[in-house]
Structure 1
């Protein structure tokens, strides 16, 4: 663990004390802070202001837990020690009433939150697991060092764009390790088919190409439904005030910056959106659409809102709501606020329509498809990679449907349902199932594309309330206990539909229509995960995965940890279901 300035003798002479304090910082940070301290001396004509800033900077760096250049091995070693500490506390204290406060103090000391669990035993089981500690410590270290880099102005359009170079390298290396781990791990289903996890991931929405395609498909469906209702289409960009930005556009220090992190800025925007949405609801302004989150080059998030307004006369109310909650509450008269904090644009066919307009925002935040450079002239592939790592580091969801539409979870679950199950299904489910399928065309014919607009109609349309939807997920309790000794909880097992079915009663009664609520089960496969080193002894190899094969969102059947064990070689991979040990079974 890093140490603060207590080890430096405060009685040292001024220059010696500063030199010792600066040596506690990474070289790149030390140079930046040293120059700032010198400017403070000149500006304030004393040493006190600069010394206070230097002392606070060293204390903030000590709060990062590990050095800036800490390796994965360093974090793994610390995680193992923390798990042993937790196990020692649990063994020594004995009762839950004493164990939980002690574990809370241990977590607080190392900058992580006490784990959320269903039972007190689940909390203890997590705290004695090195892999749990490794994931939390690595996330804490990355976010705190990034917050420090932002505070120092090292993340900006004139320096490292979107996120610091240290965290970019660390994130890229983690992605490489994850990819290698997936390529070394095999999945075997009950039919004897064998694939690497990397092959299965390529066929899921974890693949950027498929992710972008699904987002564009959903936007196209939203736009088509919006045309049917004669909706007004509005695009709004909302940006946090200057207090969330560490630097100005030219890279100079922003004196108004209050130390907020990107996560805190995003949380502020979410809170304001909740108020804005409620304000619109009270005035009966009906809308739906898509929200995308992008990063400024200084790492601060901003939102892009593409909405379809049911009543075109409500455009004024929509813009008033955005200004009321995203501009007026937070220093609306600061320079540039009116021009940059809230920007509105009416979307018309001349501008390519809603889908064409938002396509570039989706592309540059996923894989850069169809673009060569970003707005700053940098290669789009590099920018997309940095933005993706920025979102992952701060835990920010980049794309989110807002206020209506149809649930994409149901859309994906429908694609797991076999066609034979549709024979007795209610009409909304049959319509939705057909809409969700992509069918290859015969020779010389075009493929039948999936139709998200028809899926929205089958669910009840874009204005339907959640409790009144015609389709929702069918959830069932899972058997067994999870990794930390807790019940596995609910899992998706199909789709429930509310609708009309027709029964032929025969005779003079004939066909009778009645409303039913019926669940249709999806097709699940049982997967056994085999490590590559075990596969060599079993004589296994990878085949070609069919398009409907997936392992996403599957639930693992494991026994609880009873004592600390060696952490997984890769914490990110250990978090996912793809890295179950040999012989552990997953249900798809």
Structure 2
């Protein structure tokens, strides 16, 4: 085939990617919105005119015709989603984004000599999406029980949506995990795992399309990521069966053509280093071993971390920075430290990498073998020692639990991840064996009738409101929020957002007598509180006036209101427990019924296959069971 004929063939294939049944993946968001609305309306009409089973079957056929996976939900929730224009809008946007980006890859427009990591079109699409998201955040106001109001954009800047905050937390966890690993005498490894050649679209530095990639069906970055996840899953399972524990972080970043590769920073016990390296190398090179006969580092590269030469956090700092916002302090004496592997400035590369990850739905950072970060974040919400004192005086937990929670709060409040790691049982502790877990409840509708709050699709809403310490519940949720549309939003399309922000229930109260063994811990906490108050009093005139002004504008909650909320919590949580028990029993009975039906199906099919029963012998009840 001539180069001209190959180019025509490639163009035809690329254009064919845009055709997804009734939908043509246009770069026109209004056309997408109109199509989503039309599809949802058609499903809604079918649901009104036909019985549930037929309407659901037609809706599933409609969604699969668009090359979209049907929602994996109960039947009622499935049909509600398929009749929702916002659900269709989200799915079509994801589909369109990935199909159009893959088209650019097929046409050879994603590589180090064109649009590095992501196409120029894909990058512009992501920027437009970010502008839409920002407008939505600014168009919604959150109001708490003290009538303090903030836009969601303002609140997002205070949390992990802010890249600087996200990078700071990641580096804290990495550095403190290394500190604990050194204390335990564990050895650090830095591994790089790359997918086989058939997943790479373009040869580096040449702009030539990889023939192996074309022959193998032109895989997407999502498929390459799935391959690496399966590889990692098999390796971890193998190590787990042999009690070879590891812990650390994995970072996913793209090659110049968008194909992902993994960096793994992990620690293990010294006697297990050889076994861990052997297992990881074996699985990494298991596929297409002929590609690495001359140099296996192109697929698997391993480095032992020598503390004398540099820290583990230093190894991974550049990869973390490159994948968030590119901002870091360049290390002295390291030439080109502000550049990525292809000579591009990190601050220009980082937004393109973020656009790549968002397009293909790839999680860039993931810790493993470490405690729940949700517990860490929830505990850090306890900003005052008085909150912990109130919990101790209210619940009167046993001495070990009280001591654990006090130490845990001190560690979290001081930003001591290493101490938090020790208190949670240390690295490689199973989640079930960790002493503190997130506290999740199913939300009530707030109408006093004991019914659970449900979302637009009928799903029961759940909220994390605190932590559970050795069976004792500690609520860390400080405020009750509701959301409203900002008056100045100018009619911004909020895409079906609901503003029903019901208050999250408070924890129940137990007014038991304070035991003697609490006195020492309480005294310690009161000393901390006293010191904090003394520090606050040592303010200059300007600081004192600003502090008093803030307290006047945002006063503490009325004691009567707090008492009423506490009383309501006791009722709500007890109802929540009853509803949960009833739901668990229903689910158990339903699972038992399905298992019985499935067993009968296999039995009858076996009889038919062996000729022990004729098809004419089937009763209507048996046919119904077989087709259930």
Among candidates 262, 274, 277, match of residue 221 of structure 2: 262
Verify: 1:386 aligned to 2:362, yes or no.
no
Indicate if the aligned counterparts of 1:64 and 1:145 stay in contact, CA closer than 8 A: no
Residue 435 in 1 paired to residue 391 in 2?
A: no
Moved >6 Å (runs of 4+): 49-52
Structure-2 residue corresponding to 1:252: 208
Aligned to 1:291, which of 250, 257, 264? 250
Asked whether the 8 Å contact 2:21–2:65 carries over to 1, the reply is no
Matched, 1:88 2:88: no
Q: By percentage of residues, which structure has more helix?
A: 2
Which residue of structure 2 lines up, in the alignment, with residue 300 of structure 1?
A: 259
Structure 1 partner of 2:147: 192
CA distance in 1, matches of 2:26, 2:168: 38
The question of 1:412 aligning with 2:380 is answered: no
Deviation at 1:266, TM superposition (A): 0.7
**Corresponding residue for residue 600 of structure 2:** none
Contact 2:482 / 2:502 at 8 angstroms: preserved in 1? yes
Q: Deviations over 1:355-392 (max 9, x none)?
A: 12211111111111215332222221221001111111
Taking the aligned partners of 1:528 and 1:103, their CA distance within structure 2 comes to 34
Distance in 2, matches of 1:133 and 1:127, equals 7
Query: How far is 1:535 from its partner?
Result: 8.6
For the aligned residues, what is the CA RMSD?
Answer: 2.4
Q: 2:31 aligns with which of 74, 97, 100?
A: 74
Structure 2 equivalent of residue 139 of structure 1? 94
Match of 1:521 among 475, 485, 499: 475
**Aligned-residue offset at 1:195:** 1.0
SS in 1 for 2:440: strand
Helix, strand or coil at the partner of 2:262: strand
Gaps of 5+ in 2: 331-337, 445-451, 506-628
Q: 8 Å contact 1:65–1:141 — kept in the other structure?
A: no
Match of 1:496 in 2: 468
5+ residue gaps, structure 1, are 1-36, 42-48, 438-448, 499-516, 537-566
Cα distance change of structure 1 residues 362 and 53 upon mapping to structure 2, 3 Å threshold: closer
Structure 1 CA distance, aligned partners of 2:71 and 2:324?
31
Q: Classify 1:75/1:586 alpha carbon distance in 2 versus 1 (closer, same or farther; 3 Å).
A: farther
**CA shift for structure 1 position 222:** 0.7
C-alpha spacing 1:64/1:151, structure 2 compared with 1 (3 Å): farther
Instruction: Within 5 Å, give how 1:20-31 maps onto structure 2.
Output: none
| SS of 1:525 mapped into structure 2 | coil
1:103 aligns with 2:69: no
CA separation of 1:278 and 1:520: change in aligned 2, threshold 3 A: same
TM-score by length of 1: 0.76
2:313 aligns with 355
The aligned counterpart of 1:327 is 285
Local SS of the residue matching 1:369 = coil
Please give the alpha-carbon distance, in whole angstroms, between the structure 2 residues aligned to 1:54 and 1:174: 27
Name the counterpart of 2:425: 460
The yes-or-no answer on 1:156 pairing with 2:156 is no
Comparing 480-489 with 294-303, which one deviates more in the overlay? Answer: 480-489
Cα distance, 1:120 vs structure 2: 1.9
Match of 1:62 in 2: 19
Distance 1:413 1:152 in 2: 47
Q: Name 1:178's counterpart in structure 2.
A: 133
User: Structure 1 residues 64 and 357, CA, compared in 2 at 3 Å: closer, same or farther?
Assistant: farther
Q: What secondary structure sits across from 2:192 in the alignment?
A: strand
Distance 1:260 1:173, change over 3 A: same
TM-score, normalized by length of structure 2?
A: 0.71
1:395 equivalent to 2:361? Answer yes
1:541 matched to which residue of 2? Answer: none
Q: CA deviation at 1:568?
A: 8.0
**Residue deviations 1:482-517 (CA, integer Å, cap 9, x gap):** 33342424422221122xxxxxxxxxxxxxxxxxx3
* CA–CA separation in structure 1 for the residues paired with 2:131 and 2:160: 18
Q: CA deviation at 1:352?
A: 2.2
Cα distance in 2, alignment partners of residues 464 and 334 from structure 1: 36
Task: Find the aligned partners of 1:518 and 1:332 in 2 and give their Cα distance.
Answer: 57
Farther-moved stretch of structure 1 (294-303 vs 319-328): 319-328
Residue 569 (1) aligns with residue 493 (2): yes
Contact between 2:25 and 2:99, CA under 8 Å: does it hold in 1? no
Return the structure number with greater relative CO, CA threshold 8 A, min gap 6: 1
> 2:221–2:258: 8 Å Cα contact kept in structure 1?
yes
Structure 1's 309 and 497: CA in aligned 2 closer, same or farther, altered over 3 A?
same
Q: Per-residue deviation at 1:111?
A: 2.0
Aligned to 2:303: 345
Q: Does the aligned pair in 1 maintain the 2:112–2:257 contact within 8 Å? A: yes
Is residue 369 from structure 1 mapped to residue 323 from structure 2 by the alignment?
A: no
Matched residues in 2 for 1:352 and 1:377: separation?
Answer: 24
Pair 409,373 (structure 1): closer, same or farther in 2 beyond 3 Å: same
Counterpart-to-counterpart distance in 2, 1:181 and 1:490: 23
Q: 1:116 Cα deviation (Å)?
A: 2.7
State the Cα distance separating 1:85 from its structure 2 match: 1.4
- Report the alpha carbon displacement of residue 322 of structure 1 after superposing the two structures with TM: 1.3
| Equivalent of 1:121 in 76, 80, 88 | 76
Q: Is the 8 A contact 1:493 1:521 kept in 2?
A: yes
Q: Is the 8 Å Cα contact of residues 287 and 307 (structure 1) preserved in structure 2? A: yes
Aligned to 2:291, the other structure's residue is in SS state coil
What is the CA-CA distance between 1:70 and the residue it aligns to?
Answer: 2.0
Per-residue deviation, 1:434: 1.2
What's the CA shift for 1:57?
A: 4.1
Count of residues in correspondence between the two structures: 475
Measured against aligned partners, the alpha-carbon deviations of 1:534-579 in whole angstroms (never above 9, x if no partner) come to 799xxxxxxxxxxxxxxxxxxxxxxxxxxxxxx98365xx6xxxx5
* Separation of aligned partners in 2, 1:69 and 1:58: 11
Q: Distance in 2 between matches of 1:349 and 1:221?
A: 14
